[in-house]
């Protein structure tokens, strides 16, 4: 079908293309992401709206039940807020008395997700090195829910490895209790809490937050809530399943913490 000359030329061209892809992979990928950014953003927003529409239709029958549940939750939370306000005032007075400075606010950069990696729990955001982003910076939303950290930066885009990716792990703690452990990703937006000391007691629905032990993330960012506890007599530690608060459908307005 093809002449010898054509076959030989195809092999040579193929060889040089392979060399280009090996040595210039990063700049080529960076160029691809930058040029696809407007289209990816449009598709992401369209997907968000369409899925929201279908979710609304499918959720109609549960709305009344959900409303009643949310009303009772709100009442309980209002009572908690009232008691926490008192504690906050007391805390501020004590800090003043002991001359401890208040924690400074984070320096934030607003970003939004434009795509998700086909191979894992990695997302692409619409800002990069030109906006002062660097590898290792955490990504949160406005409710201080931790989403992940930046793994790769190019000029106009960055890749963020989500906390549910199997390659992700960081120190976590159970809010209000002196219990720390390692939060690890399982893939497909699942995470679990590992290396929890056996003698520590905690229960379902306990909140898991980030801990500042290793310095990966600032302390106190919301991770998720405990859904099940696994205690194996053979293993020296407990593990617990966590339902993460991060939501793939709520990635429009996210923030990268540039300084903490």
Partner 1 sequence: MVKRIFILFILFYFLTLLQTSFLVHFPFFLKLPFNIVLIAVIFINLFESSEKNLGFFSAIIGGFFLDFFSDNFIGFNILILVSFSILIKFIIRRYVRIPVIKRI
What are the tokens at 148?
């992940």
Q: Order across the sheet with 146-153: list the strands.
A: 107-111, 254-259, 138-141, 146-153, 158-162, 122-125, 113-116
Closer residue to partner 1, CB minimum distance, 16 or 32: 32
CB of 124 to partner 1, least distance (A): 8
Closer residue to partner 1, CB minimum distance, 78 or 118: 118
- C-alpha dihedral over 157, 158, 163, 167, to 10 degrees? 130
CB of 219 to partner 1, least distance (A): 29
CB of 236 to partner 1, least distance (A): 33
CB of 157 to partner 1, least distance (A): 11
Q: In the complex, which residues of this chain contact partner 1 (CB under 8 A)? A: 18, 21-22, 25, 28-29, 32, 36, 39-41, 43-44, 46-48, 50-51, 54, 114-120, 122, 124, 159, 188-189, 248-249
CB of 89 to partner 1, least distance (A): 43
Closer residue to partner 1, CB minimum distance, 8 or 21: 21
Closer residue to partner 1, CB minimum distance, 160 or 256: 160
Host H or E run for residue 201: none
Biggest alpha carbon distance in the chain?
88
Contacts of 111 (CB under 8 A, 6+ apart): 125, 126, 127, 139, 158, 254, 255, 256
Closer residue to partner 1, CB minimum distance, 152 or 206: 152
Note whether 124 and 156 are within 8 A (CB): no
């Amino acid at each position: 079908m093809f002449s010898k000359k054509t076959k030989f030329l195809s092999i040579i061209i193929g060889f040089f293309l392979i060399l280009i892809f090996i040595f210039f992979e990063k700049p080529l990928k960076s160029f691809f992401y930058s040029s696809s950014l407007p289209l990816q953003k449009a598709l992401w927003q369209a997907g968000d709206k369409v899925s929201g529409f279908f979710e609304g239709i499918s959720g109609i029958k549960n709305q009344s039940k959900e409303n009643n549940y949310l009303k009772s939750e709100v009442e309980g939370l209002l009572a908690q807020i009232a008691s926490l306000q008192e504690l906050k005032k007391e805390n501020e007075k004590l800090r003043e008395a002991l001359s401890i400075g208040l924690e400074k606010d984070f320096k934030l950069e607003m970003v939004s997700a434009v795509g998700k990696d086909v191979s894992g729990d990695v997302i692409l955001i619409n800002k990069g090195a030109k906006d002062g982003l660097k590898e290792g910076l955490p990504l949160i939303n406005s409710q201080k829910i931790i989403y992940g950290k930046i793994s790769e930066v190019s000029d106009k885009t960055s890749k963020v490895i989500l906390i549910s990716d199997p390659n992700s792990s960081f120190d976590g703690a159970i809010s209000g209790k002196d219990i720390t452990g390692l939060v690890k990703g399982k893939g497909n937006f699942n995470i679990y809490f590992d290396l929890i000391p056996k003698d520590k007691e905690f229960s379902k629905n306990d909140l898991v937050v980030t801990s500042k032990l290793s310095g990966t993330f600032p302390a106190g960012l919301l991770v998720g809530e405990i859904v099940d506890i696994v205690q194996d007599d053979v293993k020296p530690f407990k593990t617990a399943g966590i339902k993460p608060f991060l939501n793939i459908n709520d990635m429009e307005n996210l923030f990268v913490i540039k300084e903490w």
